Amino acid sequence: MDDGKMVKEKNELWEWTKALLIAVALAAIIRFFLFTPIVVDGYSMTPTLHDGDKMIVNKLGKPDRFDIIVFHAPEHKDYIKRVIGLPGDTVEYRNDVLYINGKAYDEPYLEKSKQELFDGKLTDDFTLEETPVGTRTVPEGEVFVMGDNRRSSKDSRHIGTISINEIIGDTSVVFWPLQDIRMVK
């Protein structure tokens, strides 16, 4: 084999190696800093999300009211819930109606569950003082979260508020199973 051909093959191998290393580095950066997949585990977000749904978590930005977020829960697990209260908010439920800072809010994502009820309210009455939060308002740097399956969700009514530092990101895209690809809100 002549030296020219050998040098060309080494250069081609080096170029492929560099391309592969760059691709792996970009994938790692995207995975750790921008987006990550998550699998819904359980039924606390039913009917919006289903057990086994695979979603994309957006790690950029700050969650807003009613966003679906993924966070590190106190039980050393990641939970997926909906942001209800932001720092400084008062949160209260009366007669199956959400009140934030004294104003009633519609929750269209709960309509299907409310229509299927045969025995009363979907969400029991409470104020923040009656939850582990124990204060009148959501503390600074924290959010109050609830699952959409209000009768079967371990959320801020049980574990208290969530530090914004524990939030991995928000999510609104179900990409698996294929027949259920959708945007959720």
Decide which of 58 and 100 is more confident: 100
Active site residue 153: no
pLDDT of residue 146: 94
Residues 6+ apart with CB under 8 A from 168: 36, 38, 57, 59, 69, 70, 71, 72, 78
Catalytic position from the list 5, 8, 10, 44: 44
Average pLDDT in the chain: 85
User: Per-residue pLDDT averaged across 106-126, rounded?
Assistant: 83
Residue 44 annotated among the catalytic residues of the structure: yes
SS (H, E, C) 101-127: CCEEECCHHHHHHHHCCCCCCCCCCEE
pLDDT for residue 63: 86
- Whether residue 183 is predicted with pLDDT greater than 80 in this model: the reply is no
How many whole angstroms from its chain centre is CA 98? Answer: 20
List, for residues 25-59, the tens digit of each pLDDT value. Answer: 777 666 666 667 788 888 888 888 889 898 888 88
- Which residue is catalytic, options 10, 18, 54, 81? 81
Per-residue pLDDT band for 140 (boundaries 50, 70, 90) equals very high
CATH code, residues 40-183: 2.10.109.10
* Confidence (pTM): 0.78
Distance between CA atoms of 83 and 24, rounded to whole angstroms? 34
> Which two tokens mark 4?
């020219």
